């Protein structure tokens, strides 16, 4: 086995090791359920990736968990629809708002 002829300096050793530091894991929020997910990974909470359902999350759950998950997903979808335009129809309009339209 080869043996180095000369000793490497501390600065040379430290420059080599400068790239060995660990980086913090970054997370993004899932567009469907707003759970934190690693980028380019399937959401474990709802089973979607890039807007498509990839994993059927409900198939792996027990009967009680399945009902609870279905209610949660339905509530989230209802909130999303409410944000899009349902909130304007439910509130009565004042005279100023009617004149703007």
The predicted pLDDT at position 101 comes to 55
Three-state DSSP at 48 gives: strand
Element (H, E) at 81: helix 63-81
CA distance readout (Å), 47 to 11, 41, 81, 93: 48, 10, 20, 39
pLDDT tens series, the chain, 101 aa:
889 899 999 999 999 999 999 999 999 999 888 899 999 999 988 889 988 888 888 787 788 888 888 888 888 888 878 776 654 555 666 766 666 65
Contact 18, 11 (CB under 8 A): no
pLDDT the model gives residue 24 = 92
How far, in Å, are 1, 10, 15, 39, 85 from residue 6 at the CA level? Answer: 15, 13, 17, 45, 73
**Distance between first and last Cα of the chain:** 84
């Amino acid at each position: 086995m080869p043996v180095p002829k000369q000793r490497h300096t501390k600065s040379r050793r430290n420059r080599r090791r400068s790239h060995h530091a660990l980086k913090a894991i970054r997370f993004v929020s899932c567009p469907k359920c707003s759970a934190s997910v690693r980028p380019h990974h399937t959401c474990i909470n709802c089973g979607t990736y890039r807007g498509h359902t990839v994993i059927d999350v409900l198939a792996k759950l027990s009967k009680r968990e399945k009902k609870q998950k279905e209610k949660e997903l339905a509530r989230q979808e209802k909130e999303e629809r409410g944000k899009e335009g349902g909130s304007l129809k439910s509130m009565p309009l004042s005279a100023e708002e009617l004149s703007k339209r």
